[in-house]
Amino acid sequence: MTELEPILAGFYPDPSICRVGDTYYLITSSFEYLPGIPIHSSNDLVTWTPIGNVLTRPSQIAEHAGYPSAGIFAPTIRHHDGEFWVIGTDVNGIPLGQGHFLLRAADPAGPWSDPVYITGAIGIDPDIAWDDDGTAHVTWCSLNPGQPGILSAPIDTATGEFLAPPRELWQGTGLSFPEGPHLYRIDGWWYLLLAEGGTERGHAATIARSRTLDGPFESAPQNPFLSHRSLPHPVQNTGHADLIQLPDDTWAAVHLGVRPRGQSPGFHVNGRESFLVGIDWVDGWPVVDEGRFSIPPTNGSFKDRFDAPDLDPRWLGVGRFPASFTRHEVGGGLIIDAAAGEGRALLVARSTDLVWSATTTFDASSGTGRLLVRIDDRHWYGLTYDGTSVEATLTIGPVEHTVGRWDAPAPIAPTLRIRAKKPRPLPHGISLEPDRVELSVLADGAEHIFGEFDGRYLSTEVAGGFTGRVFGIEAVSGQIRVHGVRYDANAEDDSAE
């Protein structure tokens, strides 16, 4: 059994990849968080560097209520005719009939164009591919009750209008939820790759081919060609893959997966992550080689004292762009304004490690602030500081409970700390929980620990949805001035600065 490490750890699902020369570019879903669609680059497929986000301004995507697991679904990135293209779905726009959106850029780091909407394609998980004549074809998972399934249509990329009516392609092998289509033109064939089985334990990648887009599509004899379903593998839910050809004419694929821990059914807390496998072509079909690439463990540690006027792209808002409720403080620090956020003054970043510590110190003389770790609005643990005391709170579904209170020795601003710690194994070696989340406060060299709490309640298996844990700072009321944030990977016994 291979111990696979992700190439992008943490909440980076639905990877899509393209290559220009020796450089690869990868994007992932972002759901309710803004800016949207993070983009990374790599020269070796193994180590990846964030270069920004695709959706960075309200003219590309409107700020919204931040409903859990809404927003941006499964975008695709491609390079064609000297330009980068991204096509995706904003599910918040589906009731408005906006369908998918298409953007382009000369530089993948941006800026990206405003969207062109493909109004006739109502659904999710769109792909774009060009035929030998240069015509663009959009393929998607249709949500139209009158024409469900995997559809494809040629489009005018300048207007988003169909050039011909949508046609049905291959609908998969019969597993549930055929989605995530990617269409490729390879050696005279059209290959159609799908995700099937749902994005849970039955997830799989399947593929079919046809000489023409009119079909019929022939299913690969070894389908699904990628899946860990019913296997005792530490990485589960594998699927939603995208193929890439390397400069030496070998192939690879990126795909999503999760790393569940704890007792059955297993709980994954950092969300769906991005993984890499090798691909061999055997008799015209892709065969996965999971051991081809050696992926080093990632370490997401960082310190941010907000010295620069612009925020690092790691920082996100829930349905709102951080620029709408934060501002840089001259001399360092960051103001988070609850009134400007209109109830969404929450600045977060992805937790990318299995064991980690996050600390912050902020001035609460003009408001109340909170350090928290969350899956969504109904599943979070946090520490709230109002200038005089700190309260530790657990929110699990409809239940919100304060587990302790600590009075601050004025005028010292305490350091708030959240730690995700290893689970405690039982005598038979299995742990009940995926991890333990510790809430504590430090001041004058002393530490007050409110307790360690079961991490399964901040997992996707409990909360539902498609995202993973993020941590961050919220202005609950008024304004707070954040002095800095420190995130330490593998910090089981660290002490805060």
Q: Are 167 and 151 in contact (CB under 8 A)?
A: yes
Report how far residue 320's alpha carbon sits from residue 62's, in angstroms, rounded to the nearest whole number: 8
In the chain the first and final C-alpha atoms are separated, in Å, by 40
14, 273, 391, 435: which is the annotated catalytic residue? Answer: 14
Report how far residue 489's alpha carbon sits from residue 473's, in angstroms, rounded to the nearest whole number: 18
Is the bond preceding residue 265 a cis peptide, omega within 30 degrees?
yes
456: left (phi over 0), alpha (psi -120 to 50) or beta: alpha
Whether 63 is catalytic: no
Please count the residues of the chain.
497
90, 125, 127, 179: which is the annotated catalytic residue? Answer: 179
Q: Are 217 and 170 in contact (CB under 8 A)?
A: yes
Report the candidate in 324, 309, 412, 329 with the shortest Cα–Cα distance to residue 365: 412
Q: Which two tokens stand for residue 462?
A: 């409990």
Report the candidate in 162, 104, 150 with the shortest Cα–Cα distance to residue 126: 150
Q: Are 370 and 482 in contact (CB under 8 A)?
A: no
Strand order in the sheet with 16-20: 16-20, 23-27, 36-42, 49-55
Q: Which amino acid is at 365?
A: S
- Indicate if the alpha-carbon torsion angle 370, 350, 83, 134 is positive or negative: negative
Residues 6+ apart with CB under 8 A from 303: 484, 485, 486, 487
H/E run at residue 206: strand 204-210
Dihedral angle over CA of 474, 477, 483, 485, nearest 10: -10
Whether 179 is catalytic: yes
Is the bond preceding residue 111 a cis peptide, omega within 30 degrees?
yes
Return the active site residues.
Answer: 14, 179
